[in-house]
Structure formats: structure tokens, C-alpha cells
Structure 1
Amino acid sequence: MASQTNGNVTGKTESYEAWKIRSIKFAKEWTHVVLWLATNLIFWLVVYFRYENEPEYHYIRLLAGKSLPFAKACAACLNLNSMLILFPVCRNLISFFRSSVETKACCKRSVRRLLDKNLVFHKTLAYVIILFTLGHINAHYFNFENLFNSRVHPETDIQKTLSFLPYEQPDTWVNPVQNPSETTYGLGVIQQVMQRVAGWTGIFITMALLLMYTSSTEFIRRYYFETFWFTHHLFIIYYGFLIAHGAEGIVRYQTNVEEHNPKKCADYPDSWSTMDDCKNAPMFAGGELKSWKWVIAPLIIYFLERVIRFCRSVQTVTITEVIQHPSNAFEIRMKKSGFEMLPGQYIFIKCPQLSNFEWHPFTLTSSPNEDFFSVHIRTVGDWTNGLAEACGVGGDDVITPSKLPRVAVDGPFGTASIDIFKYKVGVCVAAGIGVTPFASILKTIWHRLLNNSEDMKLSKVYFFWICPETNAFAWFSELLEVFERDMVEKGYADFLNYNIYLTRGLSFKETKNIYLSENENTDPITGLRQKTHYGRPKWPTIFSEIANENQGIDVGVFFCGPSGLSEILYKNCKLHSEISRDGCRFFYNKENF
């Protein structure tokens, strides 16, 4: 009996401990999302009920209808999210906060992972802005429809009285529809809308937003980056007209509610002169211009961001060497005064010879211990093909360093991959050219191990590389071969567990070589000791094996590649993470730039 009781108590303790860990983890992951959603909801409700219930908006409500509070509530949330959306794309600001978090003792991992999702938050804000824009536009169309009806075909005496208040003085009128056209009803409403600043600026805002949204799909960003880059700079038009959108103040509010009670006077417009609460005529004013107060701070910060980028763009960068690799890839090695990097970081490159405006992101493949910094570039679009041609890649003539094109470099900037050295065990997964950040990481690991670095917490790395074709193995397999040889010589043979997967079909010649080399110690394709796998990894089995080998350890999973595989890895991290402190816990990190 005693042992059963103890067992039950232990079971309850473990259940409470698991619940506590799960709750803390959930809170860290979702607190910022809940806070943001709650802020939007509170803003929407506060503004909605203000325009629905406040007496100063009583008369304009009688003219515009129930859609007025809805339109203004959506506008409030548009201002809020238009303020926030610029911050995630201020790369220097994100890097500053990320480096600041490194020195804090509380919630370092959760905050760093939040900052690494800056582009995800930027896209989410864009979707929400579009949603509130649609709500704002539709509600205001009904507002103008009701205002037009109140002027042309008033249904009540109060609508007629309010619509025909004298327009000569700025504080005497409330209905912005004046001198309506005798044209068709629908055209008349549109004509009234376009005569107002809010109408035509709203058209420009919506068009800019639509073009930015439609040109930011993954397909256009990947294959027509120039289109994405140029249309995304329509944000200048978006913010410019957003600031001017409410300049005319067509949503009027009553300024003398105490002298003229609208709720009492609305039912007796013909008796205002005989009623004590209505003797004074209602006076009105336009709504205050508010959008600039919301967006001025992020616009200033973004302006400073662009100033920093410009200063970096004029600093001298020297291309020391260009190396051509198989599978349409080439390497550029560069030097720049004062350039300092960490493993796994990325930079933006501009080539004025190709374009004075376009900046393209590339992961650094060099180590901080090398006397140069490098990137590996795959030619997949007009800009990368143009850069390859300018650097003499694929040509017969060798271009001397003095004749290589001038490039500008902005960065470096931090990403999730930097955090691999904060874990005891790391899992690195790369798809195709997504292997580039791990080149820098492996070089840095190699240097720290060979020099017995004291800040080397990492003790085990599982590396998975999924490639579509054999040519893609060439440049990175050389690095793996050197790393593997030196690790064995230093007694770290078990430090790196690497697995390479070839996903596409093999030719008859390649298949024959594999068969004939079955008993060889090295792989016939890569030349490495670890044999290449054919097909795709079985991730549930892989994660289960890693979890069993690393009980009670926090394992960092780092991925660079397509979103489809990212979802699979994220689900497996959650599925195979044990709640108890004695179990293995996976923390997923994805490259976002």
C-alpha cells in the first residue's frame, strides 16, 4: 500500500511538472501573438463604441448609418498595424535588439526566436492591413451611399434638416454631400467620393497596397525579384497618402453638445427654436488628422535605417577571388575594412553595374577566422546571371581582380543559425543551396575544436543535406571531407553525424559506379566515408533516434530551405519533444531573410 501511495504521489508530481513546463513553453511562444491580437481587438471595440454611443457623433450617425462606427474602428486598427509593419524590416534595429538580448539573463531563447520571426510578423501584419482595408472601404461606401440618400431622398425630417444646413461657413454643415449630380444613382455616389480628399487618396492607398501584396508572392520574389523590389517601394505612396487621407475631415462631429442636445433635438427638428435644449443651432468640426501621429516614429526610424544602408553602400568592398562551382553556383570572396561577422550571418549585396537600387540577400559561407568573407551564389534569375557574367563565370577569359565589378555590402545581420553554439546538441538540415549558412558554422566549429576553445558548448552535431542532383555535392563535399579528416585526427570522430540524401534519379553510369563501389570505404559520388542515401529522409524515425540518444538535453534544430520541408520539421520537433525535464526537447529555428 505504501509503495502504491508513493507511486501515486510521484505520478501527480510528474503530471504537475509536465503541465507547468507545457504552460511556460506555450506562454513564451504565444504571448506576443495574444498581446498583439488583444490590442487590435481593444482598439477596434473602443473606437467602434465611441462612434456608436458618443453624443457628438449622433447627427453624423443619423446620416451615415451603422456602418460609420465600423469604418472608423477599422481605420484605427489600420493606423496601429501601419505603425508596426515597418519595424520588422528595419534590419539594423532587429540586429541591435538581438545583440542586446544576448546580455540578458531572462527568456533569452524565446526572445531571440521571436526576433528571428520578424519577416513572418511583417507578412502577418500585411494580411491584417488588407483585411481592415477591405472592411474600411466597404463600410465607407455604405456611409456615402447613406449620405447621398439623405441629401437626395431623405427619409426623415432630421435627415433633411441636417443635409441642408448652410455650407458657407466651415462649422455649420455636417453632410459632405453637396450639390449631388443628376446622373445615375451609383455614379452619383462615386462622383461624391472622388470629389473628396479621402476618396481619391484612398484609391491611391488601395492600389499601392494591392500591388505590394500581389508582387510579394514567393514565385515573384524568387524569379522576378526586381518586380518585387520596385513594387514594394510603393510603401512611400502608401504612407504619403495615408497621412493625407483624413486631411479634409469629412466625418464631422458636433462641438456644442452642451448647448444643443442632439439626442433630444433629433426627434423635433421643426421645433428647435421653441425648445430650450435646441435654441442654439448645432455646430460641427471635421475630424482631426491622426494618421501621421501613428506612423511618424516608424518612418523616422526607417529613414535612419536607410541612411545607415547608404553609408555602408559607399564603403569600399574588394573582390579578391571568384570561384566557379558545379550546378550553376559560384563563390565570391571579398574584403571590407571594419567588417566583422559571426557564423551563420547574412549580408545584402548590390552591384551598381547591374542596378543602382537592388539589394539581394546571401548567407555568408566563410568563417570569422578567415581573412576574407564569402558568399556562394546560384544563378537562378536575371540579377544573379548578370553578376555571374560580370565576374567572368562560365567564360573562357579570366577577369583580373581590378576589372571585376564594384559591389556594395550591407550587413552582416544575425539569423537563427548563430544560436547553434548555445546548445549542447545541434541538428542542421539543409535543402539544396540552403546549405550555405552551415558552411560557415562547420568552419567555425572546426576552428574552435582544433584550438580547444573554452566557449565551445556544442558537443554533437547531426547534419542532414537533401540535394536534387549529384553536381550539387561538389563544393560542399570538399569542406566535409577536410572537416571529417581533421576530426578523426583530433579524436572527434563522433562529433559530426552527417547524412546526405540524393532525391532525383541516377543515370545508368552513376548506378553502375555505385554498384561496383559497394565494398569501397568511400562514397562513389561524394568521396566521403559516409555513404549517400537515395530518396528522402524518414523524419519521424530520425527524430525518434535523436531523442533516444539525447535524453534530458535541449536540442537546437536549424533549417534553411523551402517552406514545405520546414513544416514537416517543425511538426516533428513538437511531436518528439518530451515535456518532462528528463526527456529530449527540440527547439526549431528557421532561416528567414
Structure 2
Amino acid sequence: MWVGVHLSHHKDSQSLSWTEVPTLKNLSRIQVAESSLLPTEAPNHHLTMGNWVVNHWFSVLFLAAWLGLNVFLFVHAFLSFEKATSTTTQDKSWGRHWPGPEPLLATCILTACSKILLPVCRNLLRTLGKQLDHNLTFHKLVAYIICLHTAIHITTHLFNFERYSRSRQATDGSLASILSNLSHQEKDSWLNPIQSSNTTMEYVTFTYTAGVTGVIITIALVLMVTLAMEFIRRSYSEVFWYTHHIFIMYFIGLGIHGLGGLVRDQTEKNMDENHPHKCAEFFEKWNDPDSHCKPPQFEGLPA
């Protein structure tokens, strides 16, 4: 008898608890639904933005410093090539153009590439602490900067190779044609990488070390950036993972891209013997025995 009453009581308690839970859930749902119907105040975006800046002041400061560094490097390199006396001969040869565009953009690209691996070095980030919690955001920012500088770098190459081609085909005895005809047989004599008037830009691109590596690292960069987009990264994580490892090929190609020395400058020794400003005005007398101006000598800029 006692056992039966106990079981009956236990069963009733289970039944009671089972009927009470849905009632509480329904009540909470009703409360949530009613609260969602209440009018809400419009968010104060200025206050929100201000709070974000206050709470993330280090990130804002770091971002401003990083962008400022890139602007400084670009402007500094631009002004350095603009004021350098050694560019006078080239300017007179190819016409007025961006001074030293490939070297100054290469400086920005190499600076960005030297930082892009830092945000994904997890062990190092743990050591640095919480200030680099937004490491992937910084990684993406550096990647965007690399893409921007790469696009400008390629564009300036295309414009300058077009000038090289026109100068090589010139037969009017101008300074551009004389510099373009400097012999390629001697190591430090030539300036124009296009050796023949029949040489095309495609031939130079796919036969020179700088051209081949430039194509390879550009394709690698495009693949890494496009296949890292969020919808591809989430839906096809394996594709993102494997293509992002192309960075090994990218950095190898980047390291040997400038070894060909296609971007050249007048040697320091030759500038001491021949003043660039004066000798560029009297280029017709370079080969005269009594002339103080000799044909200029050029060398590839360091990679």
C-alpha cells in the first residue's frame, strides 16, 4: 500500500513538472514578443563611433601609423628620385614621367610584404599580448595595400616599356635614340632593356627574369586574394587553405624579381666624370676626343 501511494505521488509530481515547463516557456516567448513590439530609440551613430574610437584607441593609432608609414615611404622615394641628378639623362631620354616609379613602388611593396606574415604568426602574437588581437584584420589591410601598390607598379612598367619601345625605334638622332643604342655587350653601358626595334613587350615579359617572375607573383597574388573572399573561405575552406600556401612561391619570386637589373641608373663613378646636367645637353659630342663628356654608364638598381 505504501509503495503504491509513493509511486502514484512520484508519477503525479512528474506529470506536474511536465505541464509547468511549457507554460513557463510560452510565457517567456510572449514577453519577448511584446518587448519586440515596443518602440526603440534610433541609435546614435556619432556616440557609437566615438565609443568605438575610445575603446579601440590603440587599433586606431596603429592603423593611422601604418597608413602614414606607407604614405611617407611613397612620398620620400618619389621626392628622392625627383631631385636626384642622376635621373636627368633618363628624363631627357624618355620624356617627363614619374621619377623612378618602379623602385619607389617596389619599396612600398617590399615593406608591406615584410609585415603581412606577422599577423598570422600565432606564437609570436601570444607573446606580444592582447594588443594584436585584431591580427587578421591587419593581415587583410596589408594585403589590400600590397594589391594597390602592385597595380600601380605594373601600370608604370607598362607605360615605361612603351617609352622604351618608342625610343628604340627612333632614328632621328635624338638623345633617346642614342641612349637606346648603347651596346648590350658591355655590362654597364646599356640603359634600354629592349635590344632591337623588333622586340615586343610580350617578348621582354616572358624572356627576362623580371618579366617571368613578375607574371608568376602577380598570378599568385590574384589567386590568394580572390580565393580568400569570405564566401569562398566559408564554403570551400580547402580551396582557401591550399591556395593561400602559394605565398611560398610568391615570396621566392619576389626575392628574385629584381635580380635582372632592368631598372637602371647612372653609376656614381660615371657621374663624377660626366656631369649629368651638362653632358645631357651636349650628347652629340660624347664621342669627340676633345670632349669632356663621355657616353654614360649605367647599372641595375639593387633589388
For the aligned pair, the TM-score class normalised by the smaller chain equals 0.7 to 0.9
- Name the TM-score, length of structure 1 as normaliser: 0.40
Which of 67, 75, 89 is 1:59 aligned to? 89
In 2, are the aligned partners of 1:64 and 1:144 still within 8 Å (CA)? Answer: no
Paired position in structure 2 for 1:43: 73
Please report how far the alpha carbon of residue 279 of structure 1 lies from its aligned counterpart in structure 2 after TM superposition.
Answer: 2.9
Q: Cα deviation per residue 1:98-154 (whole Å; 9 max; x = unaligned)?
A: 1xxxxxxxxxxxxx2x41100000011111111110000011011111011111126
Q: How does 1:426-505 map to 2 (within 5 A)?
A: none
Distance 2:155 2:289 in 1: 39
Q: Is the 8 A contact 1:201 1:245 kept in 2?
A: yes
Pick closer, same or farther for the CA change 1:58–1:32 going to 2, 3 Å: same
**What's the Cα RMSD here?**
2.4
Q: Could you tell me which residue of structure 1 aligns to residue 101 of structure 2?
A: 70
Matches within 5 A, 1:152-301: 152-153=169-170, 157-181=174-198, 188-255=200-267, 256-273=270-287, 278-289=292-303
Q: Secondary structure at the match of 1:282?
A: coil
Structure 2 CA distance, aligned partners of 1:279 and 1:267?
10
SS at match of 1:253: strand
- Tell me the equivalent position of 1:125: 142
Q: 1-side partners of 2:53 and 2:234: how far apart?
A: 39
Partner residue of 2:112?
81
**CA distance 1:155–1:34, shift in 2 (3 Å):** farther
Q: Structure 1 CA distance, aligned partners of 2:293 and 2:113? A: 44
Indicate if the aligned counterparts of 1:55 and 1:263 stay in contact, CA closer than 8 A.
yes
Q: Distance in 1 between matches of 2:172 and 2:214?
A: 29
Q: Which has the higher strand share?
A: 1
* 1:53 Cα deviation from its structure 2 partner: 2.3
**Which amino acid is the alignment partner of residue 222 of structure 1?**
R
Q: Which amino acid is the alignment partner of residue 200 of structure 1?
A: V
For structure 1, the residue ranges without an aligned partner over 5 or more in a row are 1-20, 99-111, 183-187, 290-593
d(CA) in 2 for partners of 1:135, 1:234 = 22
Q: In structure 1, what is the Cα distance between the partners aligned to 2:262 and 2:84?
A: 17
When residues 154 and 73 of structure 1 are mapped into structure 2, their CA distance, relative to the original with a 3 A threshold, is farther
Instruction: Write the deviation string for residues 452-493 of structure 1: whole angstroms up to 9, x where unpaired.
Output: xxxxxxxxxxxxxxxxxxxxxxxxxxxxxxxxxxxxxxxxxx
Residues 123, 24 of structure 1: CA spacing in aligned structure 2 closer, same or farther, 3 A cutoff?
closer
How far off is 1:259 after superposition? 0.8
1:24 shift after superposition: 7.0
User: One-letter code of the match for 1:73?
Assistant: L
Deviations 1:474-522, CA, capped at 9 Å, x for gaps: xxxxxxxxxxxxxxxxxxxxxxxxxxxxxxxxxxxxxxxxxxxxxxxxx
Q: Pairwise mapping of residues 470-549 of structure 1 onto structure 2 (< 5 A)? A: none
Distance of aligned partners of 1:154 and 1:130 in 2 relative to their CA distance in 1, 3 Å threshold: farther
1:69 CA displacement = 2.5
| CA deviation after TM superposition for structure 1 residue 91, in Å | 0.8
Identity %, equivalent residues: 36
Gaps of 5+ in 2: 1-50
Contact 1:85/1:126 (<8 A) preserved = yes
The alpha-carbon deviation at position 57 of structure 1 amounts to: 2.7
1:166 positional shift: 1.9
The CA distance in 1 between the partners of 2:243 and 2:301, in whole Å, is 32
1:49–1:155: structure 2 CA closer, same or farther, 3 Å change rule? farther
CA change 1:237–1:29 in 2 (3 A) is closer
Post-superposition offset of 1:243: 0.3
Q: Deviations over 1:421-449 (max 9, x none)?
A: xxxxxxxxxxxxxxxxxxxxxxxxxxxxx
The residue type paired with residue 293 of structure 2 is K
Question: CA-to-partner distance for each residue in 1:349-390, whole Å, 9 max, x for gaps?
Answer: xxxxxxxxxxxxxxxxxxxxxxxxxxxxxxxxxxxxxxxxxx
The match for 2:159 is 142
State the number of aligned residues. 250
Aligned 8 A contact 1:48 1:72 in 2? no
Name the CA distance, whole Å, in 2 between partners of 1:23 and 1:208.
Answer: 36
- Contact 2:285/2:291 (CA < 8 Å) preserved in 1? no
Q: CA offset at residue 251 of structure 1? A: 1.1
Cα–Cα, structure 1 residues 133 and 269, in superposed 2: closer, same or farther, change >3 Å?
A: same
The whole-number CA distance in structure 2 between the counterparts of 1:125 and 1:141 is 24
The 5 A counterparts of 1:337-416 are: none
SS in 2 for 1:257: helix
Counterpart of 2:219 in 1: which secondary structure? helix
Q: Which amino acid aligns with 2:278?
A: K
Q: Aligned equivalents of 1:136 and 1:78: distance in 2?
A: 9
Does the Cα contact within 8 Å between 2:220 and 2:246 map onto a contact in 1?
Answer: yes
**1:514-538, CA deviations, whole angstroms, 9 ceiling, x for partnerless residues?**
xxxxxxxxxxxxxxxxxxxxxxxxx
Q: Which residue of 2 aligns with 1:480?
A: none
How far is the alpha carbon of 1:280 from its aligned partner?
Answer: 3.1
**Local SS of the residue matching 1:194:** helix
Normalised to the residue count of structure 2, the TM-score between the two structures is 0.76
